[in-house]
């Protein structure tokens, strides 16, 4: 069976600013389409009749944990998934998606957990596993596909942890 995957990575979406780090603006106009990256991509998908079975999003939806950028980027992911006709969408977090520089004791994942519907994947049981264990896996019998979603910033809750990545859960190997 042939499977077609689409990947949207490192969107770094943010509101308009003086020194932009990407061209994907959360508050920019989408018309004309040729001046907005997502509107332009959707026009290309429609013009070329592109489709994909699954859409994978490996993080950095936002830039510098910008809440407006994060919520807009997640909507853009949904728009692209619908345009591609995907039956499965799966995402994870990047270091720019969480507020790891907040005050001690704050929850760096709060914005993502409270503002992004169906993140990082459906069903809700897998969402709970992602937040509790730092990973989840999904299967699609229709696509003969299994995806392991790892939260690589799961431990980014202190300044020391920001300097390195760490996968510490032995369940990765057993459950994936």
Under 8 Å CB-to-CB from 67, ≥6 apart: which residues? 111, 115
pLDDT at 59: 94
* Cα of 165 vs its chain's centroid, Å: 18
pLDDT of 107 strictly over 80: yes
Given a contact cutoff of 8 angstroms between Cβ atoms, the answer to whether 38 and 12 are in contact is no
Q: Tell me, what DSSP letter sits at residue 90?
A: E
Q: Tell me, what DSSP letter sits at residue 98?
A: S
Q: Which domain holds residue 73?
A: 5-175
Name the pLDDT band for 173 (thresholds 50, 70, 90).
Answer: very low
Under 8 Å CB-to-CB from 136, ≥6 apart: which residues? 120, 121, 126, 127, 129, 130, 148, 149
Domain count, the chain: 1
Name the pLDDT band for 50 (thresholds 50, 70, 90).
Answer: very high
DSSP letters of 106-136? --TTHHHHHH-TT-S-SSHHHHHHHHHHSEE
How far apart are alpha carbons 97 and 111 in whole angstroms? 9
Q: What is the pTM assigned to this prediction? A: 0.87
pLDDT at 82: 98
Q: What is the pLDDT of residues 66-105, one digit of tens each?
A: 999 999 999 999 999 999 999 999 999 998 899 877 666 6
Nearest one of 11, 9, 55 to 37, comparing CA atoms: 11
Give phi and psi for 57, each to the nearest 5: -130, 100
């Amino acid at each position: 069976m042939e499977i077609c995957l689409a990947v949207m990575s490192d969107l770094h979406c943010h509101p308009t600013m003086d020194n932009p780090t990407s061209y994907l603006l959360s508050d920019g106009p989408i018309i004309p389409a040729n001046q907005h990256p997502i509107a332009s991509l959707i026009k290309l998908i429609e013009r070329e009749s592109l489709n994909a079975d699954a859409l994978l999003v490996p993080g950095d939806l936002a830039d510098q944990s910008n809440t407006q950028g994060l919520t807009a980027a997640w909507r853009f992911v949904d728009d692209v998934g619908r345009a591609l006709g995907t039956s499965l969408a799966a995402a994870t977090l990047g270091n720019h998606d969480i507020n790891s520089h907040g005050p001690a004791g704050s929850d760096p994942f709060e914005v993502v957990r409270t503002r992004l519907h169906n993140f990082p994947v459906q069903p809700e049981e897998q969402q709970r596993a992602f937040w509790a264990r730092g990973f989840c896996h999904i299967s699609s019998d229709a696509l003969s596909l299994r995806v392991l979603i790892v939260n690589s910033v799961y431990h980014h809750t202190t300044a020391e942890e920001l300097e390195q990545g760490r996968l510490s859960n032995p369940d990765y190997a057993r459950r994936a």
